[in-house]
Amino acid sequence: MRTLDSTHDPALKSWVDSANRPDGDFPIQNLPFAVFRRTGTGEPFRCGVAIGEQVLDLAALAALHPLEGRAQQALSVCAQPALNGLMALGREAWDALRQELSRVLRAGAQHADRVAKALVPQPGVEFALPARIGDYTDFYTSIHHATAVGRQFRPDQPLLPNYKWMPIAYHGRASSIGVSGQPVRRPCGQLKPQGAAQPKLAPTERLDYELEVGVFIGTGNPAGEPIAIEQAEEHVFGLCLLNDWSARDVQAWEYQPLGPFLGKNFATTVSPWVVTLEALAPFRLPWSRPHADPQPLPYLDGRELRSAGAVDLELTVWLETARMRAQGTGAEQLSRCNFRDSYWSIAQMVAHHSVNGCNLQPGDLFGSGTQSGPQSSEAGSLLELTAGGRQPFGLADGETRTFLADGDRVILKGRCARLGFAPIGFGEAAGIVLPANGAGRC
């Protein structure tokens, strides 16, 4: 597990003034990574770090103010248009780079005027995916979500017998993962309306979002060599926000016997910023399992997991409809939950995914599955908030929703806060729904 060091000191301030605002996502204690370029320039994408309302251009930093030792080795791969090279170097390199970036950005640092030349205002940049994502696996780690959804289809047995024994997952589609801000086209698929004799091909009528946490793998493992749970987090570079858009009517018709397919593979949106596990060290919590539940098998259990395997990360979903946008009223919050309520942890996902010898690679992405809390208001999807579409909910402007309408913009946000430490944020993962191709024809 990550330990606290000088980079987490809540008294640290930066010479970048916007990083010192208490309500900001990106204080000097955070320093998340992204891949960016100046908007509209056509210049190469490269790696950057958020500091307040600025992006520290790591390619420019390498030219203006080289670092030393392992930090310089890490910085040298940051001119690439993806974080994979940095991810592959491993935790020692990540730690060294974080330490040096904190040093050159803190108030009173020498050569601040030189480093300042590598800053780019965030409003003037566009983002690419943080990494070349070779594989994407979506888990099902929230027992509250699994129970609420299972109850809609199996009232007498919401959870299947294997749920409490292992982290359930399916392999998703990496090619349709996009970065925040990219639109999502309403997908077509086979639907079978209730009472119909046969299915039809049509645009989904039950488009949904899923509030998830993304986990980016750093260093991988050789094929045939499982990752022990004690070392699992050594292989994790960081976390992001993730929206696994879902066509619920397509999903309902196709998911048996082999699980999600066209209902899921059309779009997944991630936030541009990857918050490292080092930055999250102050917000770790003990992980536990209710005494009445089966305790994990030994390969999914351990002392460090029990002491600090959970993450205190508050997650929120916001909806901005086309009417809200036209009237300038701003987005409305739909729900709030916390990643600490997840039934399965980050380390357990890594250990289980590799226990059969599956070889993970730098840049692989895990989705946590929809995160929902124990209360109905903490649901991470419309499928739960509307009881499968049977209970529409009203918005403040008088509109109602069961599922998403064309023009709706969904925004996911995340923030960690703990007394005695500087709060940090994840930015946002946002996407707007466009009509189906061909004016609704498939």
Instruction: Give the model's pLDDT for residue 99.
Output: 97
Q: What is the pTM of this model?
A: 0.97
Q: Parse the chain into domains and list their residue ranges.
A: 6-128, 136-434
Q: Tokens 């069961």 appear where?
A: 402
Select from 280, 151, 277, 142 the least CA-distant residue to 211.
Answer: 142
**Kind of pairing between the strands at 365-367 and 393-394:** unpaired
Read off the tokens for 15: 């010479």
Instruction: Give the model's pLDDT for residue 438.
Output: 74
Read off the tokens for 237: 């570079």
**Rounded to whole angstroms, how far apart are CA atoms 67 and 215?**
28
145 given a catalytic annotation: yes
**Rounded to whole angstroms, how far apart are CA atoms 211 and 381?**
7
Q: Computed over its alpha carbons, how large is the radius of gyration of the chain?
A: 22
CATH 1.10.10.10 given to domain 136-434: no
**Rounded to whole angstroms, how far apart are CA atoms 192 and 292?**
40
The list of the chain residues with pLDDT below 70 reads 439-440
Angle at 272 between CA 270 and CA 278, to 5 degrees: 100
Instruction: Give the model's pLDDT for residue 439.
Output: 57
The active-site residue, picked from 8, 144, 145, 352, is: 145
Instruction: Give the model's pLDDT for residue 440.
Output: 56
Architecture of domain 6-128: Roll (2.30)
Instruction: Give the model's pLDDT for residue 18.
Output: 98
Instruction: Give the model's pLDDT for residue 32.
Output: 99
Instruction: Give the model's pLDDT for residue 66.
Output: 87
